[in-house]
Amino acid sequence: MMASEKKGWDRNGMAERAAQELEDGMYVNLGIGIPTLVANYVGEKDITLQSENGMLGMGPFPYEGEEDPDLINAGKQTITELSRTAYFDSATSFGMIRGGKIAAAILGAMEVSEKGDLANWMIPGKLVKGMGGAMDLVAGVGRVIVVMDHQNKHGDSKVLHECTLPLTGKGVVDLIITNLGVLEVGKKGLHIVETAPGVSHDDIRAATEATVV
Amino acid sequence: MKKVYGSAAEALAGLLHDGMFIAAGGFGLCGIPELLIDAIVASGTKSLTIASNNCGVDGFGLGKLLDTKQIKKMLSSYVGENAEFMRQYLSGELELEFNPQGTLAERMRAGGSGIPGFYTKTGVGTVIAEGKDVKVFDGQDYILERGIVADLSIVKAWKADDTGNLVFRKTARNFNPPAAMCGKVCVVEVEEIVPRGSLDPDHIHLPGIYVHRLIQGEHEKRIEQRTVRQREIA
């Protein structure tokens, strides 16, 4: 059997593409999963990472033996501080989120609609853990960028006319980056901004339930 | 007025009653009031409603109050780290009101600041908005959220002076200041009580006006997700 040629981006490819959306001087919040990898691709750009539990200027994971229980990120992982780091309380943290001071949030998703609705916090009938800070982030930050696989493990499109799962936010997503390409949320539907290597516009249309204009 | 007490049990004496509403500081296991939680476990106070971002883990933090079935209801944004929580919730023994994390923090801050309600766009168009007043400001929808005033706040800080001025450390600050603000009575545990005058007044994170009782003690400070990177070999 011939090995099928791998088309599109892998996790790191998506993260690298998402990093291109970030501009010098931005304050950014990265979600858990693929979004966390975006930090590896910002290069020379001056990007300050926010952790919504009360920190600007999040540094890398500590070396073994240097973990500090008083210094964690929003995923409860041990992290480190940088020379620019500032700490604050949760009300102040979400004040800067709700107040639009954070330029962008890069988040994972279960479903996104062509209107920019986002579902990423609960599946009815399954264990519900909670929305954490996701609803505040998508309602408040300047730009919401979703990074996710284009289809679920059954091959169904995750980019839909309407989300079927309970929403995290309505009309909040600006840009969708998937393994197949980059889609912008427009007034009349989604626009293809870019295709991943080896992927055609038709491939994206065929894999997308939502309206692609 | 003397604020410093000898132990968590002494500091909580006369403040606990069944069915009370408690606001707790902490995020995950970071900056949680371990000693006061242990004292509430020992007190046996029941039917508690607790506003806290999380509910500890099995057998630690607020998770201890689940094991003893002292909690009736939680107001939280994320409860995923606790099997006993899920068991009690799914069996109907425990009530849960999900609050978006920023909404929960602001409800505490507002309640402690004399603001009974505020409008926010967080949760508009989601289940969180159901049954809540919607108001349009400048063409955008916002939902009404209520300020929280708790019977008691339990809080962890790094250092305090004997007047209750508090200094927090790194991300262990999190929900502690807003939780402290929203309590009718606030009890704080710290790692060190220092003499007044030894904290720089410009570096106080929360002034002692919010702090009624204070204890010093040893903290376990458990790490929930120990994550490290490899040292690069030169």
Over 80: is that where the pLDDT of A97 sits? yes
Interatomic CA distance for residues B176 and B32, integer angstroms: 8
Which residues of A does the annotation mark as catalytic? 52
Cβ atoms of A3 and A28 within 8 Å: the answer is: no
Residues of B in contact with A55 (CB under 8 A): 170-171
Q: Do A70 and B169 touch (CB under 8 A)?
A: yes
Q: Do B122 and A98 touch (CB under 8 A)?
A: yes
Predicted confidence band of residue B184 (pLDDT cuts 50, 70, 90): very high
Minimal Cα distance from B121: which residue of A?
A139
Distance from CA of A71 to the nearest CA of B (A): 5
Give pLDDT tens digits for B145-170.
Answer: 999 999 999 999 999 999 999 999 99
Considering the entire predicted model, what is its pTM?
0.96
- Least confident piece of the model among A182-196, B45-59, B81-95: B81-95
Minimal Cα distance from A77: which residue of B?
B225
Burial B166-199 (b: 16+ CB within 10 A, else e): bbbbbbbbbbbbbbbbbbeebbbbbbebeeeeeb
| SS3 annotation, chain A | CCCCCCCCCCHHHHHHHHHCCCCCCCEEEECCCHHHHHHHHCCCCCCEEEECCCEEEECCCCECCCCCCCCECCCCEECCEEEEEEECCHHHHHHHHHCCCCCEEEECCCEEECCCCEECCCCCCCCCCCCCCHHHHHHHCCEEEEECCCECCCCCECEECCCCCCCCECCCCCEEECCCEEEEECCCCEEEEEECCCCCHHHHHHHCCCCEC
pLDDT at residue A73, as a whole number: 95
- Least confident piece of the model among A39-53, A116-130, B122-136: A116-130
pLDDT at residue A5, as a whole number: 55
Give pLDDT tens digits for B21-76.
Answer: 999 999 999 999 999 999 999 999 999 999 999 999 999 999 999 999 999 999 99
Minimal Cα distance from B232: which residue of A?
A63
Q: How many interface pairs between A and B have CB atoms less than 8 angstroms apart?
A: 178
> Shortest CB distance from A52 goes to which of B101, B177, B227?
B101
Minimal Cα distance from B106: which residue of A?
A91
Q: Do A140 and B121 touch (CB under 8 A)?
A: yes
Integer angstrom CA distances of residue B207 from B55, B92, B200:
27, 40, 12
Predicted confidence band of residue A1 (pLDDT cuts 50, 70, 90): very low
Predicted confidence band of residue B234 (pLDDT cuts 50, 70, 90): low
pLDDT at residue B17, as a whole number: 98
Over 70: is that where the pLDDT of A93 sits? yes
Which residue matches tokens 């996701």?
A: A134
Q: Do A72 and B28 touch (CB under 8 A)?
A: yes
Mean pLDDT, residues B82-104: 94
Residues of A in contact with B76 (CB under 8 A): 130
pLDDT at residue B195, as a whole number: 97
- The residue count for chain B: 234
Interatomic CA distance for residues B223 and B234, integer angstroms: 30
Mean pLDDT, residues A91-117: 98
Predicted confidence band of residue A3 (pLDDT cuts 50, 70, 90): very low
Over 50: is that where the pLDDT of A2 sits? no
Q: Do A87 and B76 touch (CB under 8 A)?
A: no
Q: Do B122 and A53 touch (CB under 8 A)?
A: no
Residues of B in contact with A54 (CB under 8 A): 27, 171, 173-174
Distance from CA of A171 to the nearest CA of B (A): 9
Residues of A in contact with B27 (CB under 8 A): 53-54, 72, 76, 90
Q: Do A77 and B227 touch (CB under 8 A)?
A: yes
Cβ atoms of B155 and B3 within 8 Å: the answer is: no
Distance from CA of A7 to the nearest CA of B (A): 31
| Mean pLDDT for chain A overall | 95
